[in-house]
Amino acid sequence: MTTDKPTVKNLPIAGIIFVPGSAKEYNTGAFRSQKPILDAKLCTKCGMCWVYCPDGAVFVNSEGMYEINLKYCKGCGICSEECARKAIKMVDEEE
């Protein structure tokens, strides 16, 4: 049987992980059943969505606007709830 999974022989001692923050490669967007849609026209850039996001999925793009990274967003809805201008709407994910 061939497998590409590492074995005891080629794993580092104590299972040390040498790449800091390697969880970035992991797609947690699959947790989501609803996705947030940010209306840029209503956004006042107060940053509440960014502050309260448990997943760090909200980021500031090159134009200085807040944007949601759907690779990491788990769809908890905190940003939509905390947005003072109600600029973020939660909509159902569709197949």
Partner 1 sequence: MSAQAFRSIKDIPLEEYFTPGHRACQGCGETIAVRHILKAAGPDVIVVNATGCLEVISSPYPYTAWAVPWYHVAFENAAAVASGIEAALKVLTRKNLISGKKIHVVCFAGDGGTADIGFQALSGALERGHDFLYVCLDNEAYMNTGIQRSSSTPYGAWTTTSPPGKVKPAGQMTYKKDLPSIFAAHGIPYVATATVAYPLDLINKAKKGLEVEGPAYLHVYTPCSPGWRIPSEKVVQVSRLGVQTGMFLIYEVENGQLRLTVKPSRRKPVTEYLKMQGRFRHLSDEDVERIQRLVDERCAKFGLPPLEAST
Of 38, 66, 68, 80, the residue at the interface with partner 1 (CB under 8 A) is 80
Measuring CA to CA, which residue among 37, 34, 33 is closest to residue 87? 37
Name the one residue in this structure whose structure tokens are 């997943």. 55
Given CA atoms 16, 59, 54, 52 in this order, what sign does their dihedral have? positive
Binding string to partner 1 for residues 20 to 59, with x set by CB under 8 A, is what? xxxxxxxxx--xx-------------xxx-xxxxxxxx-x
72 binds partner 1 (CB under 8 A): yes
Name the one residue in this structure whose structure tokens are 């390697």. 22
Name the one residue in this structure whose structure tokens are 């026209």. 41
Of 35, 66, 75, 87, the residue at the interface with partner 1 (CB under 8 A) is 75
Tokens of 42: 């209503």
Instruction: Considering the complex, state which of residue 38 and residue 74 has its C-beta at the smaller distance from partner 1.
Output: 74
Which residues lie near partner 1 (CB under 8 A)? 6, 15, 17, 19-28, 31-32, 46-48, 50-57, 59-60, 69, 71-72, 74-78, 80-82, 90
